[in-house]
Structure 1
Amino acid sequence: MTADVVVVGIGAGGWRSLSPAAQSELSEAVVIYGSARQLDLVPDDVGATRVRWRSPMSEHLAELGESDLDSTVHVLASGDPMFHGIGASLVRVFGAARVRVIAHPSSATLAAARLGWDLARTRIVSLVTAPVDALAAHLTDGAALLILSRDATTPADVADLLANNGFGASPFTVLSDLGADSERVQAGRADTWTGAPSALNIIAVDCVGPVRSRAPGLADEDFTHRGQITKRPMRALTVSALRPAEEQVLWDVGAGAGSVGIEWLRLTASGRVVAFESDAERSADVLENARTHGVVDRLDLRGAAPDALSDAPAPDAVFIGGGMTPEVLEIAWNALASGGRMVANAVTLETERLVVDAADRWGGELLRVSVERASPLGGSTAWRPALPVVQWTAVKTETEGTA
């Protein structure tokens, strides 16, 4: 099978760890791209021209994709090229038909082999580009996590995050330079870990700590807020009505504390939220809450609607919880993708009229929700009703188009 680009996975074990087919492929290469560390793993008697990736690598990749290739280009990748690797990036640039991949065991595969873990039952989290805070979304008692590190500082940062979130007693293992002569395994507990790993490391955590559910409806106290928050029962209904799905974009208009968008993100691995909030203090709360719940890397915080709506990524779903006006509804509905869902919660008479009018124009369902809580009354207990909420839910069909 010929290809314009051949990607060869190579591990810390270097040339000797490659299969005969991979060694033969590189021995016949004309030009090899890779990082300085990867290129140093190729023996001197391989006569190919060696090209180091420039920074930022994405721009160098784009240039390569736009160039006329005189011969097959070979690219070195760390471990399995298609597992959080450059192989997937090259396929996006050149197309799958032009790329051939020679795989190598990934660091996760090697770590599972050393630990005796069932890789199919292990959650893999990459912190190579994501902030360490992103790990918080995956923590729950009994979870087995393999964490891909950015560098030698990542294990200490992960250990601190675990300890600060009630998971300090978790068995904590750092595996460095897997497959190389310098391979090393350091084990302990998260709250007492003091190792010094190499830059090439992967972290294994067998979570011991509180049980955390992904079901919508976290306690209001789990969010920093200033009163502008969709309360837990209504939030659970709202997130359910929005039907979170992978690779989708949600607009959270009038975000308040950001609770709806954050709960929406917790239910997906690849969804994104664009949150719109006019108040600076509440905006700071949104970011703090997103970091706390491990989704800040997938949240884009913008200013007030309707002005900030104009250049935002097109939404697959929209939630309007605050700042509802006829203009905001119109813009959001027009921006919504065909098949997308709109959910709006109204508390005041003025916003109730807006959602009733919207239902008349665009269809959908109106739901009136009343919630009562038991609370002390003198020496007894009585029901105290919260303000009722009118929720409008609608799906934009292909024939409706824009308003």
Structure 2
Amino acid sequence: MGATLPERDTRFKTEDVTKTRGNDFEDYMLKRELLMGIFEKGFETPSPVQEEVIPVAISGMDVLARAKNGTGKTAAFCIPVLQRVDPSAEHIQAVVMLPTRELSLQTSAVLKELGRHMEVNVMVSTGGTPLRDDLARLCKAVHILVGTPGRVADLVRRGAAKCSKATMLVFDEADKLLSGDFDGDIEEIIRAMPADRQMMLLSATFPVAVKDFRDAYMRSPAEVNLMEELTLKGITQYYAFVEEHQKVMCLHTLFAKLEVRQSIIFCNSVSRVELLAKRITEMGFSCFYIHSRMEQSDRNRVFHEFRKGSTRHLVCTDLFTRGIDIDTVNVVINFDFPTGSETYLHRIGRSGRFGHLGLAVNMITNKDKKELFAIEQELATEIKAIPREIDRSVYCM
């Protein structure tokens, strides 16, 4: 616990973040204060998705952008939002919607870091936190409201979040937001905003629901598609064929053999998450766990501590599959194999962030064979049997 993680080697990155047109952030005529925040955050040049999205979004056009996880989508919309916000106008000017509390906190942190010199007030609001605190904060000037649809819609209904002058609406992980779980809340938020608002939708996958939403609500959006195929570059994928009772021992072997900077281990239920975390701790490895039934304060603490590197291993449910950006994670293990190619894609995308290399290991039992084959077919990829020795160069460079 508390061990310092070694610095990540950034000399090798995959082309989904390096294959740029050679633009610089200065080319977009950004505010000087925003440029200061960009460079202080360590961004040197825009990634391909940022090159495509930033100039179009700054112009005020609607944007529909599809790009791989970990290629810079968050900054691709944060930078235009900050550029278009007027700090002297003391009302909500942008609403940023995310499907989970953790992703909302992470995105608000990016906005605050990029806009640290701009006097822009960013507020994050999610379920699981005291409503009265949000109501009190909205009595003061808020320029950018970040949050989950349920809580933001509640604030709109109460008249606390006044969005009648908000000209920007962003959906990150749009496929999840438009999957049907948030329909009523999203419609309520849209109705509270001006008819000529700008909308930006970003995701790695665009199912039919996103296309239907585009046709219903967006105005001739600029469409950016940097994904010719669904699989993620830079992530080596293996499967280990095991019996159910062999999974914990298999995990022990992986921990012993792999050079894990940090790992995320996925289970398909809350009870299995807690049980596995207990077993991992009993094996002598430091481990945290996180799932949707935990108190929000506990979830925040675990997320913060894992992000700091206080432990190498985190066990979780699919709560953690959406956009969580921790670039020290180089190994993802599916202790329970997921159902569906999109869930699989988002899970393994927690490794190999921003063009770095990553490793995904899937534990497969007899009942998972059919799903494994289906995912290989859908993603046009091959998940190979795990070798006796894994070359560290495929996930550690």
Q: Greater strand percent: which structure?
A: 1
What TM-score does the superposition give when structure 2 sets the normalisation length?
0.30
Using the size of structure 1 for normalisation, the TM-score is 0.29
Indicate the structure (1 or 2) with the bigger Cα radius of gyration.
1
Structure that is richer in helix per residue: 2
Q: Which has the higher contact order (CA 8 A, sep 6+)?
A: 2
